[in-house]
Amino acid sequence: MYNSILQFIEKDTEKIGNLAMDFLLNGNMLRFEEGLLETLIEFGRKIYQETLESLEQTIRESAFRKEDYYVEHCCGQAFL
């Protein structure tokens, strides 16, 4: 999740600033809203993906899971 947040701060805040300059200040509120929504949805997707990947890794490495369960396939790979 931290990677997504850092990437958002580094790249997407600049993208939002460019959207504001290109559309909002020129009176095209709809295009600004569309670009902003697209940027924020992509940010949400990245956070969701990183969270699920982290959870999956935690489960895979869990001592409790290793006692009773075997991960046969994950993400196209086999794990022990």
Q: Whole-prediction pTM value?
A: 0.74
What is the average per-residue pLDDT within 14-18?
A: 94
pLDDT tens-place string over residues 17-76: 999 999 988 999 999 999 999 999 999 999 999 999 999 899 888 888 888 887 776 665
Banded model confidence at residue 79, pLDDT cuts 50, 70, 90:
very low
Residue 78, C-beta contacts closer than 8 angstroms, at least 6 positions apart: 72
Please provide residue 76's backbone torsions phi and psi, each rounded to the nearest 5 degrees: 80, 5
Q: How high is the pLDDT of residue 76?
A: 53
